[in-house]
Structure 1
Amino acid sequence: MKIFNEIAKESKLAKLVDAAKENHVGYVYSMNFSEALVLTNDAWKEKVSGIPHNSFLIASGFDPDRLNEAHELDREVVLLRVLGPSGLPTDVDLLRTRIEHNQRRTEDEIFTKDVHDGLDAITQSELQYGALKCRILGTFYIRDGELRLGSDIENYMSSTKLRVFKPRDESLNMIVNHMNPEVMSKALEEAQKSGFSGMPTPIEIGTIRYTSSDRLHRGQTEPKVPVQIQPTDFLARRTAILGMTRTGKSNTLKTTVSAVALAAVKDNNNVGQIIFDINGEYANANHQDDGSSIADVFADDVVCYRGIKTNDPTFRDLRNNFYEKPHVGLTIIQSLLKEEQLANDMKILVSSFSLDELPDDATDSEKYRHERNLAAFKSLLFVRGFTPSTGMKVKLAVSKAVKRQILENVFPEIVSEFEDELGKKPSQTDLEQKALNYFPDYNNGVSLRELADFFKYAREADRAIRKDHADAVKAYKKDGTKIPTGLWPSLRSGKSKDDWLDDNLKAMCNLIVGKSESDMPIRVKSLLGPIANYHSANRQGEVEAEIYNLLLDGKVVILDLSVGTEEVRKSMAVRIAHYILEHSMATFHRGEKNTNIVMYVEEAHNLIGKKEDLSTTWPRIAKEGAKAKIAFVYATQEPSSIHPNILANTENWFVTHLNNEDELRALGKFYDFADFHASLKTAQDVGFARIKTLSSPFVIPTQINRFTPEELKSELATYKFGEQNAI
């Protein structure tokens, strides 16, 4: 029997209750399927450095030294979390005793050296008893030689004989870092699918911390127990980092980025990470990071972008070329000017003018009109100070009839000279040939200067034709004669009945020349001029495609969105996120293997609206991104402002301090965060978080490790170059 007991002591179940006598804190005297009431004593609490609020306790009915002799029903350990005090039937009598004792004190007895504080030993012993109400988090048991944790209890006895212990050191480590075999197996499978050779090394995210006041349970005599999380929990998953400003959200995000990057380097695997940096704190060094940053630590593997013109060579240009991506430029202009008091022509540009791509079944007429709109928009950019690429040419289909009308109405002296040259009134065919030779070949491409001049001429011709038409109509009405059907009311192309300049294009022409229909000046330059800072003449190709390719190469991409208006930042962020989602989903639908991409959104409430349609980019990333190996990490101080669909699909949670009851109630709907309602509201300690990850079935209160650049640099060097070259 002694031999069997020695073997049993090596059981992982017995090790959970190791050092039982030293860590004993009470007895379960009542329980149900969800809660247990524990009788405890001040002396027992003192022996284990206290029992903090929200701390873990374990309850077992067996002696760990004699597990082999235990009844089958008792071979389990119940995991508890302390919720608060509970009443005892004797509380009324004990309370009366305390009050009466204090009422009898004299002035000399305010402070006393008596260890029993003036009470007899028996009474003092009785007064030390109290009760705790605990949440049942699950049951540890052995199956097939492996330690497992169920998230509930299978049975409870009314005549319970459960002893309660405070887990410390190795026992606590086993609890908070436990993974069931099937969870471990699934994580390994996911890791291998993601390109890892084996299970990635767990991330030591921090250490156990129960309360803001941590003098005892994290004191010098108490070992700080590490909290580890699996890198695979973040790949193709959703993660929330929630908390007020200055409580450690950014530190948590930096620690997570670093851990994922290190795991990828160690396994020689590509994991792309992109940070939508609203405050510019991840690309730039600051005092919070010991004068360093993510960009500094992972220098060779980090590419930083900035959303406005910069002379800093360490930043690439996040801006698009408005000439190459005119629909992007138009969107930015419209977002920046939508709140301005605008003249009618500017209103048309901001509200109804469109450069959206045409459907596949668009008619030739629609295609030509779209081409004219594009050309007019580029001309407007040019005359308002948006620098084009060197030698840029733009094509525009212009019919002979349009050129002829411009020649007739804008250059009458040329027509007159031509008539003298011919010795007769030139026919329409003659004038069309003359116009063909006089104007540049717009169909094969002209400079932006020539293009802007053309729209200026087209505007003048259209105004002249409309004036002549109006005058003729008046004359015919005065004479009482019928108005001829062949009288053109505006600039037309061939036999088309449509105006060559529709209302939108007329407005663009007015903006190009800076005058309204009544020839009053329009405030164009002062409105569009500053927006030129959002345009990059040097950008070749799509910035979205460039960023996506960097992610496929396993780089960390940081988008500094700390400058510019909120609308522009949203537009940039959504455009890039949409590109990543669409191209990753396309790879998935082709049956090809996707590269893991982790997407971080700082101050997410500024980018992701609560009422966004489910078909828009951010809700789609949260809902569908996992298929395409896109992980989504969002940080905010306002969880209630995040789209409900995103919250509902979130597997990993890091929560620090929230000071608002509405936010706490919103959070309390998820997992067991309701247990931490009070401490989340009061504890403002930086980095003190409550963590729930995919691999863990319950929330773990944790002090997040500080982002330490020098240590990370050393660790990175060890992985990359070997121990001898580490910093």
Structure 2
Amino acid sequence: MASIVEMVDNSSIQNNPIRKVKEFIDKQNQYKSIGDVEHWRFVGYVLDISYESAQIITNDTYKIAVGGIPRGSFLILVPANFDKVQPHFTLLRVKEICATPLSQQVQQTYFEMHKRSMPELDIWTQADLQWGSLRCDTLGMFYADPNNVNKLAFSGDVNNVVSAHRYEVYAPDEELLNLIVNGTVKNELQEEIGHLRTMECMFGVNRQESGNIPVKISMRDFMGCRTAMFGKTRLGKSNVVKLIAQGMLDATKETKNVGQLIFDINGEYANDSDQDNVSLRSANPERCEVYALTQRPNTPSKQLKLNFYENASSCKDILGTLLSNAGRSAIYVTSFASVVLPTPEEMDEMDMREKIHAIRRIQIYWAILREAGFAADEGKLRTLRFMNTNNVKALDPHFSDEIRKKVYGSSVPDRVPSLEGMVDEFREFMRCYRDNNEDQKAAFGKEVFEKDDILLLEFLFPKSGRGPAMLSQFKMYHSEKAGDFVKDIIASLNDGKTVILDLGNANDSIRQYFSDLLSMAVFREQETKFVSNGLGDNYIELYFEEAHNLFPPHAKDNKDVYSRFAKEGAKFHIGMVYSTQSPSTISQELLVQTENFFVGHLASTSETSALTKTQIAFDGVEEDILRAKTPGYMRMLTMSNRFIIPVQAKLYSPKRGE
């Protein structure tokens, strides 16, 4: 009867990957019976066990036979009567060496041996001294899914713990390691990211079964999800980002249902660095588009410029930051930088008097740009909705006839609704203001300009200094034709293309501006699709470097677009891959919401503590993260993996696209 039941149980899992553990144990029993120590993967017995950990006893012979047992390597725990139970195994991860009940006696023997300079030990003493003990973390259990006999299941706990003597421990072979690493990875859209690497040390690695195990990821795990890249610089974060971006391109070659937007602050995704280092764009010329502030000789790109006229509020702040970074600290310069221009949305909420003053303030700012040599499309400026109201026109300061007569005297010139006419008008008003000891009532009969207007006019017509001329160095960021690139980029993303913003030669404030502008555009686009039930299976992935600038740990405003990405991104099919050196510099709210992690070398225990506090799966691998400094050596956790996979990421080295 028992054999019939066993046959039925085995037949029910014949298509389930868990059968591999049965095949493994059958082979191990065969090796044991014929004394084939070379292929026997037996490691030892269990000395103590709990739901969270296991202490195993092993000896030098077993460890040497399996090629060593490095810290962080995987072991499997199986019942001693494996042939009488349904196939399953508990996964262990080696944590540390620990004491055995005989440790004190062993140390005493060593002491006596060295004290007496014993040249050789008898066979019985040798047998005693080679035994040791390892402490292992219990990661969970692999078994056949009860609801789907063909599917492998993994749980983060174990269903039962019996007496220690009822278990045996083995080092898995290549086939079983492949099951452990890749068995639960979603079958669709799989890509290989590297190979299993359980230790940094390469000595004797040829005897390790783990060296030949490919590590696979499912691109489904990254669609609409948040992915973190942590680790010190030059240790492979950007390389893994390229692998993920390339994997998404390959996985969606037919469907083109995922658009990717990469904020390339170093220009490494858009441009080939040398003859042998092919960029993401060069490898995928048909599906990648580059937008650049400054076109590079060998990289086809579209123009990425700011229209400093149309985006007055944000661009005025950028100019203030650029001046500050350039070391301009004169009082009239810092006063100019302190002025805040209203946004179109704010102007829509103003009453008529407030709006007239707001329009005039922007007109003075435009006059500054005109004097600095920033080209303008005056026809387009005249049509801006927020700059036209009642009798106030975009290029006319609209001073009353009475006030103009006070300024010009008997020969009042005609109004000239142009940038040049505005500059001339403001020049005359500023002359009159100064001729009357900077008393507006004496000059104009009433208060015409507000305090911020005067600060801008002092910059436009300084008593000394260069004034607007000092802005001419920033004309490289400006184009009067800029403004439509946002619409074009969104269209490309909807077509499943990868758009790379080459910000390699941009100032931090410029990078921030483009990041804010396009992030908001992406969020609005996906939100609109969601409301109209048009998301379908379409996603947009965003790639951010130096993420601590966008997601600071103590941000007071949790309503900005980046916080909304963290909280609502998945709902709107917006995924993120963000990179930075330290987990402690990132918003806790984002970390809690992050599903995928790639962690390289971290230099301090405070950083590993911040990581473990957010993601408990990293508990137990902190020491390895602190010690290992090999480029590309990562600890990976994805939605498909319930435990950390140590992986050596492959080098991104695609062929140049045609």
State the TM-score, normalizing by the size of structure 2.
0.87
* 1:523 partnered with 2:466: yes
Provide the residue aligned with 2:624 in structure 1: 679
Residue 500 of structure 1: SS of its match in structure 2?
coil
Cross-structure match for 2:386: none
Structure 2 counterpart of 1:337, one-letter code: L
How far apart, CA to CA, are the structure 1 residues paired with 2:207 and 2:164? 37
Q: How far apart in 2 are the matches of 1:32 and 1:649?
A: 31
Partner residue, 1:505: 453
Q: Are 2:47 and 2:55, in contact at CA under 8 Å, matched by a contact in 1?
A: yes
1:618 equivalenced with 2:562 (yes/no): yes
2:385 corresponding residue in structure 1: none
Q: Deviations over 1:629-656 (max 9, x none)?
A: 1101111111111111111111100011
Asked if 1:543 corresponds to 2:545, the answer is no
Secondary structure of the 1:203 match is strand
| Equivalent position amino acid for 2:477 in 1 | Y
**Within 2, Cα distance between the matches of 1:377 and 1:690?**
51
**AA aligned opposite 1:536:** S
* Unmatched 5+ stretches in structure 2: 30-39, 383-392
Once the two structures are superposed, the pairs formed by residues 372-391 of structure 1 within 5 Å of their partners are 372-389=360-377
**Structure 1 residue 53 corresponds to structure 2 residue 50:** no
Q: Deviations over 1:26-85 (max 9, x none)?
A: 111210110111111111111111111111111111556xx3xx157xx53111111011
Q: Secondary structure at the match of 1:628?
A: coil
Query: What's the offset of the Cα at 1:230?
Result: 1.1
In the alignment, what sits opposite 1:428? Answer: none
2:140 partner letter: G
Q: Pick the aligned partner of 2:258 from 243, 255, 271.
A: 271
1:255-404, aligned counterparts within 5 Å?
A: 255-265=243-253, 267-287=254-274, 290-308=276-294, 314-338=300-324, 340=327, 342-357=329-344, 358-389=346-377, 394=382, 395-396=393-394, 402-404=400-402
Cα 1:50–1:521 change in 2 (3 A) is same
Greater radius of gyration (CA): 1
Q: Distance in 1 between matches of 2:91 and 2:299?
A: 55
Cα distance in structure 2, aligned partners of 1:308 and 1:363:
42
1:67-114 Cα offsets, whole Å, 9 max, x none, are 3xx157xx53111111011211111122222332233337xx5xxxxx
Q: For residues 163 and 557 of structure 1, what CA distance do their matches in structure 2 show?
A: 53
Letter in 1 for 2:466: R
DSSP 3-state at the match of 1:53: coil
Shift of 1:247: 1.3
Deviation by residue 1:235-259 (Cα, 9 ceiling, x = unmatched): 1111011111121111111101000
- Gapped runs of 5+ residues in structure 1? 110-117, 185-198, 415-434, 471-487, 493-497, 718-727
Once the two structures are superposed, the pairs formed by residues 123-202 of structure 1 within 5 Å of their partners are 123-142=125-144, 143-144=146-147, 145=149, 146-179=151-184, 200-202=188-190
Could you tell me how far apart the structure 2 residues matched to 1:629 and 1:40 are?
Answer: 50
| Distance in 2 between residues matched to 1:100 and 1:220, nearest whole Å | 35
The Cα RMSD (Å) is 2.8
d(CA) in 2 for partners of 1:459 and 1:525? 15
CA pair 544-491 structure 1, distance change in 2 beyond 3 A: farther
Number of the residue aligned with 1:698? 643
Structure 2 contact 535–573 (Cα < 8 Å) conserved: no
Normalization by structure 1: what TM-score? 0.79
1:187-266 alignment runs, 5 A limit: 200-219=188-207, 224-265=212-253
Q: Which residue of 2 aligns with 1:598?
A: 541
Identity over aligned pairs, percent? 29
Contact 2:231/2:600, CA 8 A, preserved across alignment: yes
Cα gap change, 1:225 to 1:441, in 2 (>3 Å):
same
How far the C-alpha of 1:364 sits from its partner, in A, is: 1.4
Alpha-carbon offset, residue 401 of structure 1: 6.6
CA distance in 1, matches of 2:204, 2:439: 94
Map 1:421-440 onto structure 2 (within 5 A).
435=412, 438-440=413-415
Secondary structure at the counterpart of residue 621 of structure 1: helix
- Aligned residue identity for 1:449: E
Match 2:572 to one of 628, 632, 637 = 628
AA aligned to 1:458 is F
Within the candidate set 41, 48, 55, 1:23 is matched to 41
Maintained 8 Å contact 2:553/2:587: yes
Identify which range, 636-645 or 18-27, moves more after superposition.
18-27
1:77 to 82, 89, 101: 89
| Structure 1 residues 309 and 531: alpha-carbon distance in aligned structure 2, compared to 1, 3 A threshold | farther
Q: 1:103 — aligned with what?
A: 115
Distance 1:102 1:3 in 2: 59
